Structure 1
């Protein structure tokens, strides 16, 4: 009898221990699964507050300024999709990622197949925001033409927060602010006035303060050759006679045709006889800005740096 009780006790104890081990294993597995779940954070985008994953591993990026910021933050490996046919040259290494559609028309089916953790858009894709948000959390990072640098800085800070790279983002912002301070001081000290035009297959549009390319005046401090340019996305349509009338000391030119591809044979602004008569033409200060940076990008760490380098040419 005693022998029977001993065996029964050992068997019962074994069952208890096995059950405990099973529960422990189950608890560990549940803990592992819980830790695998991505944590989310709330950040501000151009529409307000939005909840997004922290440290996303698979990102589709339509905004080239955001793409260059992600690259500068050392998180380029997370980018799995982009509008690869519309990338500026300085981001050409990202042509190797999956094409997520055109810069104005995302490929929703392809993006759904990519199963991203996060999608980043700008104004060109705003009409698709609701549809994209059904695929993955979508953040809208625009640049405010009336407050270019502040909105750019906020976008850099937002991406720094999302990727847990706040210190690096703050350092990059500090470096850019120093560059901006330096170029602005030189521009404000100069008595020269600048005019910014976009040329598209021979047609000109002028841009002033509060406009798409207003950063040249608002942030970089260049004086305006015309104080009354109408602020609009597509600029104020002007003629070469207008350019001569305003007679800028520096003429900044953005060649849209070169940025997107097309016939640019009529875009030789510096060769125009009326432009040659301006102060800018006489002094060799018709400055062609990097078209893919200015027209296809902007609002990022690297693009802001490249823009500063561009406008500095007008101060030499």
Structure 2
């Protein structure tokens, strides 16, 4: 009887060990799962549901925050952080250098599972991918909404948030359709400008701020604006000549933490001759959304709202 008891104990022990081994194997399989993400700098096998993420793309940071994934963020460039994302200035999030100068040593210390960058860091992609899987998420300005959706869907795939992403994108689509309809009902032409200190640059269809024309339906006051990252240099006289019914202004100085000067630059006697000024349709857009973190679930939604308010 004693021998039988010992035999049964031994059998139970073997079964327990086998079960543990099976669980370990399952955990290892799940831990090793990846999803292939195509991005601006190539194609990368990214670990599913990464726990430690370094984020240089503020639009993606915005999206992670909206999806309840702030606990996955371990590091970011705190310099020029948009005001609405100020909670990421807290000490529990490490600073990993500037937008154009990543701190490679600090990033390596954090041992991230994933690094997410955008155009400002593209030149450092090869160095960053040596530390951890890296994806370069950028917006295609000529296909803003398409690329925004694809980028956001990729984030959903990585973190298992596909359903939440689908719902949020549907909500934003509905917003955009409503504003597009409003723009057509109101009529009139719009002009988008960015001020930087005393300089003014204009942006038209197909540009980084072309969402206003290409998606939201505001007819451009100038169809021939040259598309470039820094916009077409213009003057107050140019704005007066084009005489927009709606003038949308982004203050770069305010975006990068300097004193905002847009109103001083724009509202002079020359620009006051325009329909936009006379009818109270000069809209100062939030530079955090438009200049720093476009392409996020919150930022795009708020950008659409700002244009809607500007048209009313």
Task: Tell me the TM-score normalised to structure 1 length.
Answer: 0.91
Q: CA RMSD in A?
A: 2.3
Give the Cα–Cα distance (whole angstroms) in 1 for the partners of residues 15 and 167 of structure 2. Answer: 48
Structure 2 CA distance for aligned equivalents of residues 153 and 112 of structure 1: 30
Q: Answer yes or no: is the 8 Å Cα contact 2:152–2:165 preserved in 1.
A: yes
Q: Contact 1:209 / 1:218 at 8 angstroms: preserved in 2?
A: yes
Task: Note if contact 1:103-1:125 (Cα within 8 Å) is conserved in structure 2.
Answer: yes
2:215 match: 219
Q: Which residue of 1 aligns with 2:156?
A: 160
Q: What secondary structure is seen at the aligned counterpart in 1 of 2:141?
A: coil
Tell me: CA distance 1:208–1:58, structure 2 relative to 1, closer, same or farther (3 Å): same
Deviates more, 1:291-300 or 1:22-31: 22-31
Question: Could you tell me whether the CA contact under 8 Å between 2:249 and 2:262 is conserved in 1?
Answer: no
Unaligned residue ranges in structure 2 (runs of 5+): none
Cα 1:65/1:188, change in 2 over 3 Å: same
- Is residue 76 of structure 1 aligned with residue 74 of structure 2? no
Q: Contact 2:50 / 2:114 at 8 angstroms: preserved in 1?
A: yes
> Quick check: 2:153–2:162 contact (8 Å CA) kept in 1?
yes
Unaligned segments of structure 1, at least 5 residues: 1-6
Q: Is the 8 A contact 1:195 1:225 kept in 2?
A: yes
1:209 corresponds to which of 189, 205, 208: 205
The CA deviation string for residues 161-209 of structure 1, in whole angstroms up to 9 with x for no partner, is 1110100000000000000000011112222100000000110000001
Larger radius of gyration: 1
Quick one: structure 1 residues 266 and 143, their matched pair in 2 at CA, closer, same or farther if it must change by over 3 Å? closer
- Is 1:116 aligned to 2:116, yes or no? no
Q: 1:269 aligns with which of 261, 265, 287?
A: 265
Paired with 1:172 and 1:264, the residues of 2 have a C-alpha distance of 32
Aligned mates of 1:77, 1:174 — CA distance in 2: 25
Task: Look up the SS of the partner of 2:247 in the other structure.
Answer: strand
CA distance in 2, matches of 1:209, 1:80: 37
Displacement after TM superposition at 1:45 (Å)? 2.3
Give the 3-state SS of the residue equivalent to 1:273 in structure 2.
Answer: coil
Contact 1:270 1:281 survives alignment (8 Å): no
Report the alpha carbon displacement of residue 44 of structure 1 after superposing the two structures with TM: 2.6
Distance 1:152 1:139, change over 3 A: same
CA distance in 2, matches of 1:25, 1:209: 65
> Partner of 2:139: helix, strand, or coil?
coil
TM-score under structure 2 normalisation?
Answer: 0.92
Q: Secondary structure at the match of 1:299?
A: coil
Map of 2:286 onto structure 1: 290
CA distance in 2, matches of 1:89, 1:266: 18
> Do the aligned residues in 1 keep the contact of 2:250 with 2:291 (CA within 8 Å)?
yes
User: Where do residues 94-133 of structure 1 align in structure 2 (5 Å cutoff)?
Assistant: 94-96=88-90, 97-133=93-129
Whether 2:225 is the aligned partner of 1:242: answer no
- Distance in 2 separating the partners of 1:34 and 1:86: 43
Counterpart of 1:183 in structure 2 is 179
> CA, structure 1 residues 117+197, in 2 after alignment: closer, same or farther (shift >3 Å)?
same
Paired residue total: 308
What corresponds to 1:196 in structure 2?
A: 192
Instruction: Please give the alpha-carbon distance, in whole angstroms, between the structure 2 residues aligned to 1:272 and 1:223.
Output: 24
- What residue is the counterpart of 1:91 in the other structure? 85
Q: Does 1:44 align with 2:28?
A: no
> What is the rounded CA distance, in whole Å, between the counterparts of 2:258 and 2:18 in structure 1?
63
Establish whether residue 137 from structure 1 lines up as the match of residue 133 from structure 2: yes
